[in-house]
Amino acid sequence: MHILITGATSGLGLEMARIYQQKGASLVLVGRQPLAQLDPTLFTPTTYCRADLGDPEAAEQIATWLAAQGIQTLDLLIHNAAVGYYGRPADQPTGHLLQMVQVNLTTPIALTHALLPLLTAAQGKIVFVSSVASALPTADYATYTATKAALDGFARSVRLELAQAGVRVQTLHPGAANTGMHAKIGIPPTQMDWNRFPTAEATASQMVRIIQRTDKGNVAIGLGNKVLRQVGLLGGTPLEWAMRRGGRTMPPSTPTSPAHAVITGVAEGIGRALALRLSQAGYRITGIDVNVGGAVETQAAVRQQGGEMAILPADLANPADIARVVQTLAEGPRPTLLVHNAGISAAGHFARLPIAAQLKVVAVNFSAPLLLTTGLLAAGVVDGQTQVVLISSLSHYVGYPGAAVYAATKDGLASYGRSLATAVPRPRLLTVYPGPTRTAHARRYSPDNSREQTRMAPEMVAEQVVAAVQSGRRRLLPGTAAKLFALLGTLAPTLMGHAMKRAILDKFGE
């Protein structure tokens, strides 16, 4: 039985490796440390693959190492490696944020893709080690929590896809354990006594038992964490308020400037509709888009109705472009509204889609909003009086088999919004969960456009978003159908997941 564990040189990964060694498994252990510094009874040249999961080439490196060892099947893949962060969102360095997304989300997606042939050959199992925090709004761990929520979203959708190949997918949600991670990310012992947490050995033992005994999709480790996770999933705004009062706050904000909306992805669809509607409401518009031609068309439409709009050309998949946007916005009129609307997708069977196209979805839909928000917070451009709108997706409630990486990014974005609302005093943050919309984006990625006219017009979505911004709402599900599907997805997630599979994935064909 071949078992691969990432993050195997310390903490939960190391303890799971020791347990599986005692059970006689053939181990493949992945970590960053030099082999000479590790326990030679566990880590050997034939069991240890040294790889930095923060390196974009790590997945390919691990796959190449397995091939060189002659390993052609994999019974169990445990995605355990993770990087943490503790502190105000504004204080997280860009390099660390990018490393966190890479280690916690991008590499697990890429490694799953690279090793699917081995897992399929063995009818194996994939385990994602998430966290109970993924269901909670967390002021001091906003980006970490968002990466774990995104990982949950990916697992939920890809589970339905890979079941057809006989590969099982499980997500574990441990709570805090005494692994050394809290000290590593700088939490003061006076604020958190990690010695009172369960030991890494005890938690790992529970995890191994669950992996062996059940294929249940989501399992929280321990009764207390099961309760906490359910509270997080169902607690909504009251929980956010309670956690905000106990969490960090941003510095006091300055008076609001004249109405100025910054919108990403203004070239078409919901972004264009928002630019037009916000202009009508008296906002000056700054549009950010890589599609300059489309943005110019939006600008002409805004000007035609008597509004003002500036364009900032930028590829949001490029961190250098995002840094340039932050600098430009810091030097110009202060935004009073920031709308994270830009998004792309990669639709079809996860195993067949090119991994590069899928990982670009992570960069544009997830990394970019985090980088842009962090940069603007650090520059003092965004504060507690800036309204922030995050365009997530109805997939947050119902899943999206056939676009699992897209679903991951939208779950992560929704989580980030919840945590950001606890980190900023007097939060003015709206998360929007649009369902199918009559846009070029939907036409590009849908396997069936025969009922396109039943989709909501982007102008209707924009109208509801602007009304929600003006009334100070925190969540918006545009339209009755979206509200109904969200309710069904909450009450009967398994049933809704299979319904989405029939409605989307199955139409892509075998």
- Based on the fold, state whether residues 204 and 265 are members of the same structural domain: no
- What's the confidence (pLDDT) of residue 242? 59
- Based on the fold, state whether residues 125 and 37 are members of the same structural domain: yes
Nearest alpha carbon to residue 363 among 105, 135, 62? 105
> Which pair of tokens denotes residue 250?
């941003």
Residue 246 within a domain: no
C-alpha span between 23 and 287 (Å, rounded): 58
Residue 240 within a domain: no
* pLDDT at 245 exceeding the cut of 70: no
Nearest alpha carbon to residue 487 among 239, 241, 238, 234? 234
For residues 449-462, give the mean pLDDT: 94
What stretches of 342-436 show up as alpha helix (H) in DSSP? 355-362, 368-378, 395-398, 404-423
- What's the confidence (pLDDT) of residue 474? 93
- Based on the fold, state whether residues 269 and 218 are members of the same structural domain: no
Residue 185: pLDDT band by 50, 70, 90 thresholds?
low
- What's the confidence (pLDDT) of residue 183? 61
- What's the confidence (pLDDT) of residue 250? 42
Last residue in a domain, options 192, 220, 235: 235
Residue 163 burial (10 A CB sphere; 0-12, 13-18, 19+):
middle
Nearest alpha carbon to residue 348 among 357, 335, 338? 357
C-alpha span between 212 and 451 (Å, rounded): 44
Share of the chain above pLDDT 70, in %: 91
- Based on the fold, state whether residues 199 and 308 are members of the same structural domain: no
- Based on the fold, state whether residues 204 and 303 are members of the same structural domain: no
Side by side, which strands form the sheet with 168-173?
Answer: 48-50, 26-31, 2-6, 76-79, 125-129, 168-173, 218-220
Nearest alpha carbon to residue 478 among 492, 490, 495, 466? 466
For residues 4-23, give the mean pLDDT: 97
Share of the chain above pLDDT 90, in %: 79
- What's the confidence (pLDDT) of residue 232? 86
Residue pLDDT, tens place only, 207-237:
999 999 999 999 999 888 889 888 888 876 6
> Which pair of tokens denotes residue 504?
């989307």
Element (H, E) at 29: strand 26-31
* pLDDT at 251 exceeding the cut of 50: no
C-alpha span between 22 and 11 (Å, rounded): 17
* pLDDT at 51 exceeding the cut of 70: yes
Residue pLDDT, tens place only, 391-443:
999 999 999 999 999 999 999 999 999 999 888 766 689 999 999 999 998 89
Domain count, the chain: 2
pTM value? 0.93
- Based on the fold, state whether residues 150 and 36 are members of the same structural domain: yes
Residue 263: pLDDT band by 50, 70, 90 thresholds?
very high
- Based on the fold, state whether residues 225 and 269 are members of the same structural domain: no
- Based on the fold, state whether residues 141 and 221 are members of the same structural domain: yes
For residues 303-320, give the mean pLDDT: 98
For residues 18-37, give the mean pLDDT: 97
Residue pLDDT, tens place only, 373-405:
999 999 999 987 899 999 999 999 999 999 999
Pairing of strands 260-264, 218-220: unpaired
- Based on the fold, state whether residues 174 and 276 are members of the same structural domain: no
Residue 254 within a domain: no
Just list the catalytic residues.
Answer: 144
Cβ-Cβ contacts under 8 Å for 289 (sequence gap 6 or more): 264, 265, 266, 267, 271, 295, 311, 313, 314, 342
DSSP sequence for 107-165: HHHHHHHHHHHHHHHHT-EEEEE--GGGGS--STTHHHHHHHHHHHHHHHHHHHHHGGG
- Based on the fold, state whether residues 42 and 77 are members of the same structural domain: yes
* pLDDT at 507 exceeding the cut of 60: yes
Number of H helices, E strands in the chain: 19, 14
The pairs formed by 39-42 with CB atoms below 8 angstroms and a separation of 24 or more are: 42/17, 42/18
Which structural domain, as residue segments, surrounds residue 364?
Answer: 260-444+453-508
Residue 133 within a domain: yes
Last residue in a domain, options 235, 250, 278: 235
Residue predicted with more confidence, 251 or 199: 199
Residue 484 near residue 499 (C-beta atoms within 8 A)? no
> Which pair of tokens denotes residue 189?
């012992």
Residue predicted with more confidence, 193 or 83: 83
- Based on the fold, state whether residues 311 and 361 are members of the same structural domain: yes
> Which pair of tokens denotes residue 361?
């979805």
- What's the confidence (pLDDT) of residue 451? 87
- What's the confidence (pLDDT) of residue 416? 96
C-alpha span between 435 and 506 (Å, rounded): 19
* pLDDT at 194 exceeding the cut of 50: yes
What is the domain-level CATH number for residue 27? 3.40.50.720
Residue 255 within a domain: no
C-alpha span between 7 and 10 (Å, rounded): 7
* pLDDT at 178 exceeding the cut of 90: no
- Give the mean pLDDT of the chain: 92
- What's the confidence (pLDDT) of residue 383? 84
* pLDDT at 200 exceeding the cut of 60: yes
- Provide the sign of the torsion angle of the four alpha carbons 298, 299, 301, 306, taken in this order: positive
* pLDDT at 120 exceeding the cut of 50: yes
* pLDDT at 249 exceeding the cut of 60: no
- Based on the fold, state whether residues 79 and 211 are members of the same structural domain: yes
Residue pLDDT, tens place only, 63-92:
999 999 999 999 999 999 999 998 888 999
